[in-house]
């Protein structure tokens, strides 16, 4: 299995505070992704990266920003958290050749 | 746009029962199709995939056949086990259009002894 870790694994925060989630992969994968998982919606793509400093928006990008300064790290930032951003966040990575995407264990975020 | 529709769960079966989870898709191009599985408390992992029409993906006793004529990719297993209890996601990637997965809503399977 690809080595993908996420931190923190659980976080409780208050509305209006900034939050940063970290994804770290050790497979030298070029592509990395952030998804959110909500009941009835499956996983929806927030942002993705196709290389260092190269990122683009996904389906549900409003209220989120990302950064990728190194191949192995992909950060997701909620600039000002809202209750609608309470969710489980998954990071994934792959080589970009439409083979398997490898997923991290997820971060459970609760915004009060 | 692209979309994936799965049967709503939960699906509750007894051990050794036959499993079918329906999945249909709409796509503006020619997709590759995937089934991912999420065990409790874990991330998703690839279960099987098919990249062209009539291909059959298989793994761990699960099978799914890419049916272009019915735009379907139904997941089947002949005899489920308690350890198969998980959430199953059908997904697609459009060929020649990057690597972004479009997921269905997921189907929770519960297998009772």
Structure confidence at residue B97 (pLDDT): 60
> Does the N-terminal peptide bond of residue B36 adopt cis geometry, omega within 30 degrees of 0?
no
Q: Is A58 on the interface with B (CB under 8 A)?
A: yes
Task: Write down the residue that tokens 């993908």 correspond to.
Answer: A4
Q: A22 CB contacts (<8 Å, ≥6 apart)? A: A6, A7, A73, A74, A75, A76
Judged by CB atoms within 8 Å, which residues 50-89 of B form the interface with A? Answer: 51, 89
Strand, helix or coil at B83? helix
Rounded CA-CA distance B106/B113 in Å is 23
What are residue B63's DSSP bridge partners?
B58, B76
* Residue A95 to chain B, least CA–CA distance (Å): 9
Average pLDDT over residues B94-113: 85
Are B99 and A94 an interchain contact pair (Cβ–Cβ within 8 Å)? yes
Computed over every residue of chain B, the mean pLDDT equals: 92
Dump pLDDT digits (tens) for A10-52. 999 999 999 999 999 999 999 999 999 998 788 999 999 999 9
Q: Note the pLDDT tens digit of each residue in A45-83.
A: 999 999 999 999 998 999 999 999 999 999 999 999 999
């Amino acid at each position: 299995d690809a080595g993908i870790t996420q931190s923190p694994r659980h976080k409780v925060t208050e509305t209006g505070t900034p939050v940063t989630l970290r994804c770290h992969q050790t497979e030298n994968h070029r592509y990395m992704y952030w998804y959110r998982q909500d009941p009835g919606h499956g996983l929806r793509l927030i942002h993705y990266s196709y290389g260092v400093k190269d990122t683009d928006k996904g389906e549900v990008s409003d209220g989120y920003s990302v950064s990728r300064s190194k191949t192995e790290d992909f950060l997701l930032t909620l600039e000002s958290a809202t209750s609608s951003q309470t969710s489980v966040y998954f990071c994934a990575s792959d080589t970009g050749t439409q083979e398997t995407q490898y997923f991290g264990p997820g971060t459970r975020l609760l915004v009060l | 746009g692209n979309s994936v529709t799965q049967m709503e769960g939960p699906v509750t079966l007894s051990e050794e029962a036959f499993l079918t989870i329906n999945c249909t898709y709409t796509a503006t191009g020619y997709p590759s199709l995937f089934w991912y599985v999420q065990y409790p408390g874990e991330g998703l992992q690839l279960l099987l995939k098919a990249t062209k029409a009539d291909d059959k993906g298989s793994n761990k006793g699960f099978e799914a056949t890419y049916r272009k004529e019915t735009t379907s990719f139904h997941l089947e297993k002949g005899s489920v086990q308690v350890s198969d209890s998980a959430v199953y996601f059908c997904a697609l990637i459009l060929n020649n259009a990057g690597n972004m997965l479009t997921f269905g809503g997921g189907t929770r399977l519960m297998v009772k002894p």
